[in-house]
Amino acid sequence: MKGMIPRGVFALGFLRLLGILLAVALAPARAADGELRVETGFEGASARVVSIDQATRSIGFEPGGDPRHGWPCWWSFRIRGAQAGETLTLRLRALSAPIPQSAYGWLKDKPLSLDWASPSRAAWSVDGETWQQTESGVREGDWMSYRLKATAEQVLVAWGPPYTASRSAEFVRGCAQKNPAVAKAESLCQSRDGRPVPLLRMAEGGRPGSQRGTLWIQARQHAWECGSSWIAQGVAEWILAGCPEAAWLRQQYEIVVVPVMDVDHVASGQGGKEALPQDQNRDWSARPHWPEVAAAQVALGALMDAGRLSAFIDLHNPGPGDRAVHFHTPPDEASKPGQRAAIERFEGLAKMHFTKVLPVQEKLVKSGAVYSPTWMQMSHCWVAARAPESTLALCIETPWNTDRSNQEGYREMGAAIGLTLSKFLQESGVISPKP
């Protein structure tokens, strides 16, 4: 009949409408019910959800990284649907995919051990600014379980306190705005994916740049090692603060701090270490793959040509069992006697000034052929090979698996490094660049 809607079509339309109405009606109810959800759509996030048990309030997950882009130990995600006061359980297991490339015989073509992905205490935050540590996790076979009391509907959780490329940019900009006469916000270069690599340059007073030695402090060639960026921030904060040792450093030297070198792997939540085609800290060759390394080589090369590089410090985080800070240094056969003497003197001072934060390991780790077949392409070895006798070149490894491995402890370690550098250089006398 003309104008009449067939009964079937009407019924279909009615059901569809009913469905939409039900969905709309149920959506807020689901949120109010506190159904747990995991979100990873933000900078630095990384997780593969294995299961979510709404009844036991338990989330099973693996790190979200792809082993081709580095060791899959980093994880970071947001939980939604929590109810304040309830206890959540995070159950973490290792990613089973093998590591395609490794300088370490025990790792090639094997999955990364859960030990690297499971700090004894994980990090959590409500606002993404202030991070706390959970109680100690419990290892049960292939799983590590963390229990966490939610204080709000959403909780951010991570391997350690995240430090993204955006945070680095914000920190560097903030330093320059607050201290316009001392600090400048720059970019080391543009990354392969087109991101700026924030760099902070600090110097105070009228002494011309050409007459200043330079201290170069960089962090995060390995994207998962978030603690090293907090330490770099701690060094910069200490240098810009009020104590006489920091003021002396600002007035006599130029200080360059790069809180995040590998901005791309950090942004995409990848591990970075041993990423294809080449680990960033094995890329210090004549033809580097990573723009950050190439740009650092150019800047450091110019400083060395001018006789202006006084210290080069590369910040890292070590293995899961390390509880003391240690120094990776160039091997004896690839360093000059003056460089080795500088490292020993710095180490002696570090043992005085670091230990209020974390103990210092008794022995230096020398990065020769025994340590890695590509040791010559590590940053501090590259610098030592080109730098004069007087330059301090080393890598500092700060533990990530202790009760001090948090925002506060890392920043205090940064302050301790700043103070040690100042004492070290005051003892040495100000290094005069070549005329």
- Sites of contact with Zn ion (CB under 5 A): 222, 225, 316
Closest CB to Zn ion among residues 221, 390: 221
Does residue 336 contact residue 299 with C-beta atoms inside 8 Å?
no
Provide, rounded to whole angstroms, the least separation between the CB of residue 221 and Zn ion.
6
Q: How many CB atoms lie within 10 A of CB 313?
A: 25
Judged by DSSP in three states, 418 sits in helix
Provide, rounded to whole angstroms, the least separation between the CB of residue 395 and Zn ion.
8
Closest CB to Zn ion among residues 222, 423: 222
Alpha-carbon Rg for the chain, nearest whole angstrom, is: 25
Tokens of 26: 């149920």
Provide, rounded to whole angstroms, the least separation between the CB of residue 397 and Zn ion.
7
Judged by DSSP in three states, 57 sits in coil
Q: Which stretch of DSSP H or E encloses residue 240?
A: helix 226-240
Closest CB to Zn ion among residues 316, 366: 316
Provide, rounded to whole angstroms, the least separation between the CB of residue 82 and Zn ion.
33
Instruction: List own/partner pairs for 38-44 with CB under 8 A and 24 or more apart.
Output: 38/77, 38/78, 38/79, 38/80, 39/77, 39/78, 39/79, 39/80, 40/64, 40/77, 40/78, 40/269, 42/78, 43/164, 43/165, 43/166, 43/267, 44/76, 44/162, 44/164, 44/266, 44/267, 44/268, 44/269
Instruction: Name beta bridge partners: 157.
Output: 77, 124
As a residue count, the chain comes to 435
First to last CA, the chain: 101
Provide, rounded to whole angstroms, the least separation between the CB of residue 311 and Zn ion.
19
Helices (H), 89-223: 114-117, 165-178
Establish how many alpha carbons lie within 13 A of residue 374's alpha carbon, considering only the half-sphere containing its beta carbon: 15
Provide, rounded to whole angstroms, the least separation between the CB of residue 225 and Zn ion.
5
User: Phi, psi (5° rounding) for residue 245?
Assistant: -65, -35
Closest CB to Zn ion among residues 79, 267: 267
Q: How many CB atoms lie within 10 A of CB 53?
A: 12
Closest CB to Zn ion among residues 67, 433: 67
Closest CB to Zn ion among residues 314, 412: 314
Provide, rounded to whole angstroms, the least separation between the CB of residue 49 and Zn ion.
28
Provide, rounded to whole angstroms, the least separation between the CB of residue 107 and Zn ion.
14
Residues 6+ away with beta carbon under 8 Å from 230: 161, 163, 407, 410, 411, 414
* C-alpha distance from residue 276 to each of 67, 110, 117, 237, 291 (Å): 9, 16, 20, 34, 14
Which of 110, 91, 83 has its CA nearest to residue 99? 110
43: left (phi over 0), alpha (psi -120 to 50) or beta: beta
Provide, rounded to whole angstroms, the least separation between the CB of residue 228 and Zn ion.
7
Does residue 75 contact residue 27 with C-beta atoms inside 8 Å?
no
Provide, rounded to whole angstroms, the least separation between the CB of residue 220 and Zn ion.
8
Tokens of 67: 């082993």
Provide, rounded to whole angstroms, the least separation between the CB of residue 338 and Zn ion.
26
